[in-house]
C-alpha cells in the first residue's frame, strides 16, 4: 500500500509515495497537474521508478485503486529496468537508423570523432571515449532535427525561437508557449521516420497547444514520411533500447 502523507502535502508538485506489490518495492511519485484530465502512469527508466500524474481533484484513495489495477503492468516493467551503460569499444547501436560500431583509434591522441561507413572511429584517451561518443551523438541529433524543424515551421508561418537538445526524463519532445522546442538526445538511436514524426508533432503544437482534431490533422500534414502510427508504435516498443546507454 502507499506510504501516506498529510493532506496538505498533496499540494506539493512532487509527492513521494511507495507501493509494495507482491513483495516488490516499487517507487511511485505522485504529481498534481491542474491540466490533467485523467490519471497517467509512466515509467522513469533513467532514474528508476514510476510517476503517476493526478488531476487536481483526484483523491489519494482513487490513485491507490488505479495503481493496484495496474499491478501486472508495473511488475513487468519494474523487472525490465536496467542501469544505463557507458559506451565502450566494440559496442553496436543504431545511429539515426544506421547500425554503427564503436572503434577506438589508439594511434591518434587528438582529432574528431568520425563516421566511416559502419564504423564510428573515436581517437584520444580511452577514458574519454564515452564522453566523446555522447557529445558526437548529441551533435548528430541536433543537426538532423534542426533542418526538419525549421522546414516544417516555415510551412505554417511560425518561427522557432530555440531548439533544445537534452536528456529529457519523461518526454521525447515538447513545445513551449514561447516557441522553444525541446527534444530528447536519445532520439539519435531512432530511425528517421520516428524523428520526422516527432518533429512534426512539436511543430504542430506551435499552432495548436492541445491534441485536438485540428492538431492531429496538421501533424499528419507535416509528417513527411506519413508514418505517424508506425512511429508511435515504434517508440512504445523500443523505449528500453532508447534508454540503454547513459547520455549524461
The Cβ of residue 189 has, within 10 Å, a number of other Cβ atoms equal to: 22
What residues have CB less than 8 Å from 194, skipping those under 6 apart? Answer: 187, 231, 234, 235
CA-CA distance, 155 to 222, in Å (whole number)? 8
Helices (H), the chain: 60-69, 71-79, 129-155, 192-204, 213-222, 228-237, 239-242
Which pLDDT score, from 0 to 100, does residue 230 have? Answer: 96
Which pLDDT score, from 0 to 100, does residue 21 have? Answer: 61
Which pLDDT score, from 0 to 100, does residue 117 have? Answer: 93
The Cβ of residue 132 has, within 10 Å, a number of other Cβ atoms equal to: 19
Which pLDDT score, from 0 to 100, does residue 9 have? Answer: 43
| Of the options 3.30.460.10, 3.40.50.1950, 3.90.79.10, 3.30.2010.10, the CATH number for the domain spanning 92-242 | 3.30.2010.10
pLDDT beneath 50, residues of the chain: 1-14, 16
This prediction has a pTM of 0.71
The answer to whether 174 and 163 have CB atoms below 8 angstroms apart is no
- The residue ranges of every structural domain in the chain are 7-79, 92-242
Which pLDDT score, from 0 to 100, does residue 126 have? Answer: 92
Which pLDDT score, from 0 to 100, does residue 34 have? Answer: 86
CA-CA distance, 59 to 65, in Å (whole number)? 10
Amino acid at each position: 500500500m502507499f506510504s501516506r502523507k498529510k493532506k496538505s502535502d498533496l499540494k506539493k508538485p512532487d509527492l513521494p509515495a511507495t507501493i509494495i506489490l507482491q513483495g516488490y518495492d516499487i517507487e511511485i511519485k505522485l504529481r498534481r497537474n491542474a491540466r490533467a484530465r485523467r490519471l497517467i502512469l509512466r515509467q522513469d527508466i533513467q532514474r528508476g521508478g514510476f510517476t503517476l500524474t493526478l488531476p487536481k481533484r483526484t483523491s489519494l484513495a482513487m490513485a491507490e485503486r488505479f495503481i493496484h489495477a495496474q499491478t501486472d503492468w508495473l511488475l513487468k516493467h519494474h523487472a525490465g529496468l536496467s542501469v544505463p551503460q557507458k559506451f565502450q569499444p566494440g559496442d553496436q547501436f543504431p545511429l539515426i537508423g544506421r547500425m554503427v560500431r564503436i572503434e577506438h583509434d589508439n594511434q591518434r591522441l587528438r582529432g574528431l570523432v568520425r563516421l566511416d561507413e559502419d564504423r564510428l572511429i573515436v581517437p584520444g584517451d580511452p577514458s574519454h571515449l564515452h564522453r566523446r561518443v555522447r557529445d558526437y551523438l548529441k551533435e548528430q541529433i541536433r543537426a538532423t532535427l534542426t533542418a526538419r524543424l525549421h522546414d516544417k515551421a516555415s510551412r505554417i508561418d511560425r518561427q522557432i525561437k530555440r531548439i533544445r537538445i537534452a536528456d529529457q526524463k519523461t518526454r521525447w519532445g515538447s513545445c513551449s508557449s514561447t516557441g522553444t522546442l525541446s527534444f530528447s538526445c536519445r532520439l539519435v538511436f531512432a530511425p528517421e521516420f520516428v524523428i520526422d514524426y516527432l518533429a512534426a508533432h512539436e511543430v504542430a503544437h506551435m499552432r495548436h497547444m492541445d491534441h485536438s482534431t485540428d492538431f492531429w490533422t496538421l501533424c499528419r500534414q507535416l509528417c513527411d514520411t506519413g508514418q505517424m502510427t508506425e512511429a508511435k508504435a515504434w517508440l512504445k516498443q523500443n523505449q528500453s533500447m532508447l534508454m540503454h546507454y547513459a547520455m549524461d
